């Protein structure tokens, strides 16, 4: 697992899962491995490398176990995978992941569309997976990511009390932490700060990551609001790839390159070398020729005179 001494905020790279499952092109296993190698070389400390779901549903993730086998060879990196159910959780644990994340939707409509389960059924799934973890791989860390926490394209507004109650229930069921996801890109900074303040008040150290989307251009502002509320772990996707197949119109994640630059420019250490991160973007582009890549920093470059924090290797 990663050491907290090299950074003030943890950037969790979700592109190899969230990004790749959201596009029609399937990146080859070799290109995925090369991309992950580039991310690790830049200093990224946590990578969501895939999801353990039926290859019939997501053929882009069919090689998840192979990718985990490759990724866990890197020391000092937390290798994470998304699992929608206990079958996927067992496969992920047997593959050797350090951390699993479960999508638990605060919107009943999205929950049924995404995992075909109600809130209570998903909480019970968390409980069953936590028991399996205790029996099979007690070192594995479980995160319950509360999706559609800031609004849902299917049902509209999501009551904040419901979001907090669901997070608390997931931790009570055995999850190590519960974070909040702006799956649909509907969040605003005031809402983000308010909801994460409540979450941290309820869960303390069990409050997890901020997963923001840039659908309406507020991704970085929302991350900053979460930081001001005390959040120190942020999901991001290189080149802004990502979305949700069950949330129409919910375009890409916060761009990793832009988020790292924002924090480093503020004097907040990420432990990531920006130049090497941009080099990893080249590996991504090589594996997805013709795919649109996003971000403000890559075309603009670093400002003249910009001096990032010294980069330290693993």
User: Is residue 46 a contact partner of residue 80, using CB atoms and an 8 Å limit?
Assistant: yes
Residues 230, 215, 256: CA angle, nearest 5 degrees: 55
Residues 140, 71, 84: CA angle, nearest 5 degrees: 50
Q: How far apart are CA 255 and CA 273, in angstroms?
A: 15
User: Is residue 118 a contact partner of residue 111, using CB atoms and an 8 Å limit?
Assistant: yes
CA 57 centroid distance within chain: 20
Tokens found for residue 208: 């997890």
Residues 94, 97, 98: CA angle, nearest 5 degrees: 130
Of 33, 152, 170, 244, the catalytic one is 244
Tokens found for residue 149: 């926490």
Tokens found for residue 56: 């019939």
Q: How far apart are CA 204 and CA 252, in angstroms?
A: 29
If phi over 0 gives left and psi between -120 and 50 gives alpha, with beta otherwise, what is residue 275? alpha
Q: Which residues in 25-67 belong to E strands, given as ranges?
A: 46-51
Catalytic residue check, 244: yes
Element (H, E) at 297: helix 297-300
Q: Are strands 177-181 and 46-51 parallel, antiparallel or unpaired?
A: unpaired
User: Is residue 26 a contact partner of residue 60, using CB atoms and an 8 Å limit?
Assistant: yes
Catalytic residues: 244
């Amino acid at each position: 697992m990663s050491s907290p001494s090299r950074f003030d905020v943890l950037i969790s790279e979700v592109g190899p899962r969230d990004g790749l499952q959201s596009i029609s092109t399937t990146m080859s296993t070799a290109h995925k491995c090369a991309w992950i190698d580039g991310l690790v070389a830049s200093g990224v400390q946590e990578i969501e490398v895939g999801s353990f779901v039926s290859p019939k549903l997501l053929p882009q993730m069919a090689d998840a176990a192979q990718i985990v086998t490759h990724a866990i060879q890197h020391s000092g990196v937390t290798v994470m995978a998304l699992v929608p159910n206990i079958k996927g959780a067992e496969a992920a644990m047997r593959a050797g992941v350090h951390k699993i994340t479960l999508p638990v939707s605060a919107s009943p409509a999205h929950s049924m569309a995404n995992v075909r389960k109600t809130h209570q059924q998903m909480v019970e799934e968390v409980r069953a997976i936590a028991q399996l973890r205790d029996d099979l791989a007690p070192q594995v860390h479980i995160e319950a990511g509360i999706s559609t926490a800031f609004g849902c394209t299917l049902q509209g507004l999501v009551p904040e009390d419901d979001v907090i109650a669901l997070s608390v229930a997931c931790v009570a069921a055995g999850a190590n932490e519960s974070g909040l996801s702006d799956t649909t890109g509907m969040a605003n900074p005031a809402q983000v700060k308010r909801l994460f303040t409540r979450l941290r008040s309820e869960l303390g150290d069990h409050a997890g990551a901020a997963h923001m989307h840039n659908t309406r251009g507020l991704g970085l502002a929302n991350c900053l609001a979460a930081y001001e509320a005390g959040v120190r772990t942020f999901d991001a996707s290189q080149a802004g790839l990502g979305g949700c197949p069950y949330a129409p119109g919910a375009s890409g994640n916060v761009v990793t390159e832009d988020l790292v630059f924002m924090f480093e420019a503020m004097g907040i250490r990420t432990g990531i070398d920006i130049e090497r991160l941009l080099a990893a973007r080249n590996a991504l582009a090589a594996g997805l020729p013709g795919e649109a890549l996003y971000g403000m920093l890559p075309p603009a470059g670093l400002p003249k005179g910009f001096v990032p924090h010294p980069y330290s290797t693993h």
